[in-house]
Amino acid sequence: MAREKVAIVTGSSSGIGLLTTVELALNGYCVVATMRNLESRGRIEEAAQKAGVRDRLDLRRLDITEFDSLPGAVDAIIRGHGRIDVLVNNAGFSVAGFAEDMTLNELRRQLETNFFGNVAMTKAMLPVMRAQKSGHIIIVTSVAGRVGQPMLSAYSASKYALEGWSESLRIETHSLGIRVSLVEPGAYDTDIWERNVVIAKGALDPSSPNKERSQRFAEFVKKSAKHRRDARDVAKLIVRIAQKPNPKLRYLIGGDAKLQVWLKRIAPWRKYERMIAKAVKIDE
């Protein structure tokens, strides 16, 4: 009889993490669904009940920025499940605002979660996968890790850092039987746009020299909300990648993401940057 595969998902209380957890469970995985606050378990419990997969989930508390706790959390999962086949590094958030209005502490906080948190989680997992001689690490970055996004300089920096680190990691771990893949979504309808966005304090300051441009950008983001896609597509892609014996490094997803990467490749950069500044309303 085929052994049940075990997956861990970080940030499974909402959005892509929640949907990926349910999708993995629907595809026969036992999923360790982790979240930084177990009081936020309501949505995932409801979604899993509805899909008929609640018994395939093991809900655990895990904050990826509590670096020292991560090896112990991984040990506890191994004691409970025996092995880990897939790690989905999904947890993240975004800090928005002009780079000029953002403090170094806001930038650090962004990197602390989106870069160091994901790195720490992966490092906690590597000894397990090395011993197993197998395992798949899927890291949710973003199109912002391929093309710098205005008003999201800290977020882009965190995702570029994660992309570079993961490229290196993939080369280092291939001969150990460990696979590393990046998922790079465009704009999808999740909590990252509202509940989990942190607006740089300086951007909210009425004396900010960027006040009007920030307001125009905020208006643009509001209006473009209707174009955000269904995050279930990202969850389904992650499950397909998890099932591949020989996955690629990068999986770009979403028409907007593909368009940006294509334009960056073919358009002269000076034209491209003017086009983007106009599109997001920060330049007239």
Does the footprint of ligand NAP cover residue 97 (CB under 6 A)?
no
Q: Which residue has the tokens 């093309």?
A: 147
Beta carbons of 196 and 16 less than 8 angstroms apart = no
Stretch that binds ligand NAP, among 95-103, 189-197, 243-251, 261-269 (CB under 6 A): 189-197
Structure tokens at 240: 């397909």
Q: Which of 27, 58, 65, 99 binds ligand NAP (CB under 6 A)?
A: 65
**Nearest approach, Cβ of 64 to ligand NAP (angstroms)?**
4
Q: Which of 191, 233, 256, 273 binds ligand NAP (CB under 6 A)?
A: 191
Q: Which of 21, 44, 59, 90 binds ligand NAP (CB under 6 A)?
A: 90
Q: Which of 190, 208, 210, 260 binds ligand NAP (CB under 6 A)?
A: 190
Structure tokens at 231: 């995050």
Does the footprint of ligand NAP cover residue 57 (CB under 6 A)?
no
Within residues 107-146, the interface with ligand NAP by CB under 6 A covers 113, 117, 140, 142
Does the footprint of ligand NAP cover residue 106 (CB under 6 A)?
no
| Residue of minimal Cβ distance to ligand NAP | 15
Does the footprint of ligand NAP cover residue 188 (CB under 6 A)?
yes
Does the footprint of ligand NAP cover residue 64 (CB under 6 A)?
yes
**Nearest approach, Cβ of 101 to ligand NAP (angstroms)?**
21
Beta-strand relationship, 135-140 and 86-89 = parallel
Q: Which is nearer to ligand NAP, 196 or 243 (CB)?
A: 196
Structure tokens at 241: 């990648």
Q: Would you call 20 helix, strand, or coil by DSSP?
A: helix
Please state, in angstroms and rounded to a whole number, the distance separating the CA atoms of residues 139 and 181.
Answer: 6
Does the footprint of ligand NAP cover residue 17 (CB under 6 A)?
yes
Structure tokens at 58: 């093991």
- Identify any residues that bridge with 182 across adjacent strands, giving them in sequence order: 139, 250
160 part of the active site: no
Amino acid found at 223? K
Within residues 192-251, the interface with ligand NAP by CB under 6 A covers 192, 196
Over its C-alpha atoms, the chain yields an Rg (Å, rounded) of 19
Residue 123 to residues 74, 102, 132, 146, 271, Cα–Cα distance (Å): 10, 29, 15, 23, 40
Structure tokens at 97: 């605002």
Exactly one of 29, 155, 160, 188 is catalytic; which is it? 155
For ligand NAP (CB under 6 A), the number of binding residues is: 29
Please state, in angstroms and rounded to a whole number, the distance separating the CA atoms of residues 251 and 248.
Answer: 7
Please state, in angstroms and rounded to a whole number, the distance separating the CA atoms of residues 42 and 21.
Answer: 14
E strand or H helix at 7: strand 6-9
**Nearest approach, Cβ of 205 to ligand NAP (angstroms)?**
25
Q: Which is nearer to ligand NAP, 58 or 176 (CB)?
A: 58
Binding site for ligand NAP (CB under 6 A): 10-11, 13-17, 35-37, 40, 63-65, 90-93, 113, 117, 140, 142, 185, 187-188, 190-192, 196
Catalytic positions: 155
